[in-house]
Chains A and B, each alone.
Chain A
């Protein structure tokens, strides 16, 4: 993936889906592009204005915990984020993200600082932090998830293969 700025979240651990996109908006706004304008609003005001296409979100443990709202990964994806790097992900968020084609990668994110220029190498299973001149090993993305990303999400995967192909 291309180089982008790291947006390190505070709080770092247990960033829940209400923090990603508040329930206030998920009922009011049905366009995911429009919804993206409010992403992380309650914990990082103006987040949407700060991000550029291809940037990364960096978090700690249990990212995406809480509700099953698929609006959460959609809002992140539509804000232009290319991948979320975290120490671990909550399971429903994990499924939702790959199902809609948002890449998630598990790695030790402590060493990355807010504003660092970073680059994810999925094949090489590593994140390069160009600002700090270091390389961080990532957990491999399972074969099924990589296939879903390649196909552009599970719906396109179904259209292409007529069902699950794993």
Chain B
């Protein structure tokens, strides 16, 4: 019997043939932490009594969750990260570089066939580059930092095929929200999802990252796609091109725990209603809901194409007076490019607040915490109660287009009315 992508990549990193269910110690190609998890990584690393990281070129810390620092507690964490990076000669992406899941692929740290661990649950994002990548906790990451390895249980795989042509005003965010709504928040717990189909192949890399980013919202360990010319072009632009590309495909007779097909031809804009990501409905279900904040950004939807789509809707229009529309480019590169293309001018002229690259208000630590009873439309990946800093507020997840349209209207709105 053939092997899935997860079985192949984990086998290659264990140095022996593995099947779903096996537990093995595997070599890890790259690992990372962010400012919400790195303090504990450093503590665990120090507790182990080690002084050297396994390979300082293969470990990066990204200051993105609370950046620039909003208080002294966070400032101390950032300082601790900078000092640790300097001492161990590890890579540090400081304030303003952007969200880890935009920065790490852009900087060429991920290639097809590689195995990546990050102390951040959305590390599964890199699956769009045909890599196996997954989120772990801080002590878990410290173990990799010490040894260059970690233990893995080889997951069973689920095959999701997405076919059909998206209509105008409908995006990859709507596709993945629809899928999560059907599969459920624990529909793929501990599984590796392989995404296939003509609808996936047609998507840009920016749009594909949105899909793999949210694999974890179904409980998945990995969300992975095949490599193609678009992946190669992305890698060529990143510094990774020189390293050579070794794409991994599943065998035709590989075993899948489940196979699902979605046709997105008739799909419309979707929203995830409070307080869970699988509480998905068509955008019309929210049409009378007033919003106080619209957030366009994050590791899900803060890439160049997302900002282009949002700017297209906001150009020549004004954000509703009762709405704070916050725009956060996902990385410094994306920020620079958006300035060059005039998107940032469009946002400012529409009355948006543009903040420095990073996680922005997504995690509720700064830059747009909601008041009691307020609702927000966000292009992020989580709408848990309290996620944006206030358990008495309400978060609706949507595409950047829906967020931009809602910012203009002051209520949750269908972006197709603004195209």
With the chains together, A154 CA to B141 CA distance in Å? 11
The answer to whether B387 and A18 touch across the interface, beta carbons within 8 angstroms, is yes
Q: Is B164 an interface residue (CB 8 A)?
A: no
The answer to whether A30 and B138 touch across the interface, beta carbons within 8 angstroms, is no
With the chains together, A22 CA to B39 CA distance in Å? 17
With the chains together, A30 CA to B139 CA distance in Å? 15
With the chains together, A73 CA to B66 CA distance in Å? 22
The answer to whether A14 and B276 touch across the interface, beta carbons within 8 angstroms, is yes
Partner of B48, one of A13, A65, A155: A155
Binds B, one of A49-57, A117-125, A126-134, A157-165: A157-165
Partner of B25, one of A19, A27, A28, A166: A166
The answer to whether B37 and A24 touch across the interface, beta carbons within 8 angstroms, is no
Q: Is B282 an interface residue (CB 8 A)?
A: no
Binds B, one of A2-10, A77-85, A90-98: A90-98
With the chains together, A159 CA to B47 CA distance in Å? 9
The answer to whether B386 and A27 touch across the interface, beta carbons within 8 angstroms, is no
Q: How far is the CB of B286 from chain A (nearest CB, A)?
A: 21
Residues facing A in B242-291 (CB within 8 A) are 276
Residues facing A in B324-364 (CB within 8 A) are 363-364
For chain B, the count of residues having a C-beta within 8 Å of the partner chain is 52
Q: Is B149 an interface residue (CB 8 A)?
A: yes
With the chains together, A88 CA to B37 CA distance in Å? 24
Task: With A155-B44, A166-B151 as known contacts, state yes or no: A68 contacts B120, CB within 8 Å.
Answer: yes
Partner of B139, one of A23, A43, A153: A153
The answer to whether B186 and A66 touch across the interface, beta carbons within 8 angstroms, is no
Q: How far is the CB of B215 from chain A (nearest CB, A)?
A: 12
Q: How far is the CB of A20 from chain B (nearest CB, A)?
A: 11
A-B contact pairs, 8 of them (CB 8 A): A19-B386, A22-B364, A68-B119, A70-B37, A88-B186, A95-B140, A100-B139, A158-B146
Residues of B at the A interface (CB closer than 8 Å) are 23, 25, 35-37, 39-40, 44, 47-49, 65-66, 71, 73-74, 76-77, 118-121, 123, 135-140, 142-143, 146-147, 149, 151, 185-186, 189-190, 219, 221, 276, 363-365, 382, 384-387, 389, 391
